[in-house]
């Protein structure tokens, strides 16, 4: 019989969830802001400055915002998963050391 905690991927999933929660609490607004700024720069490079409020310019700005949120969110998720996997590996290694010390 296996339990949820015996799955070696479980700490990584928990870490990814914590990373995404941290992203939502800390980095969502700056990701939108800097992604929108990148979209404005992209639109200025393609259509020239000053940019007009046309549909294509707005689409590029929204594309930059979505790209910024996706990139930063995935960075937080992967970092959280890596940290969770590291903590899980450390916790799995501790009981093995205790058993080895008890046998000696």
Instruction: Quickly list DSSP for the chain.
Output: ---GGGSTTHHHHHHHHHHHHHIIIIIHHHHHHHHHHHHHHHHHHHH-SSPP--HHHHHHHHHHHHHHHHHHHHHHHHHHHHHHHHHHHHHHHHHHHHHHHHH-
Please give the pLDDT value at position 99.
63
Is residue 16's pLDDT more than 50? yes
Is residue 101's pLDDT more than 90? no
pLDDT band at 96 (very low <50, low <70, confident <90, very high): low
Q: What pTM does this model have?
A: 0.79
pLDDT band at 95 (very low <50, low <70, confident <90, very high): confident
Please give the pLDDT value at position 102.
67
Please give the pLDDT value at position 91.
86
Q: Which one is predicted more confidently, 6 or 81?
A: 81
Across residues 29-56, what is the average pLDDT? 94
Please give the pLDDT value at position 1.
44
């Amino acid at each position: 019989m296996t339990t949820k905690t015996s799955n070696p991927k479980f700490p990584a999933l928990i870490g990814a969830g914590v990373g995404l929660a941290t992203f939502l609490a800390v980095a969502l607004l700056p990701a939108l802001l800097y992604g929108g700024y990148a979209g404005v720069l992209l639109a200025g490079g393609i259509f020239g400055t000053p940019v007009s409020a046309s549909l294509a310019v707005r689409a590029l700005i929204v594309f930059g915002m979505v790209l910024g949120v996706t990139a930063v969110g995935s960075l937080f998720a992967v970092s959280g998963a890596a940290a969770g996997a590291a903590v899980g590996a450390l916790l799995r290694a501790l009981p093995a050391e205790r058993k080895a010390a008890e046998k000696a």
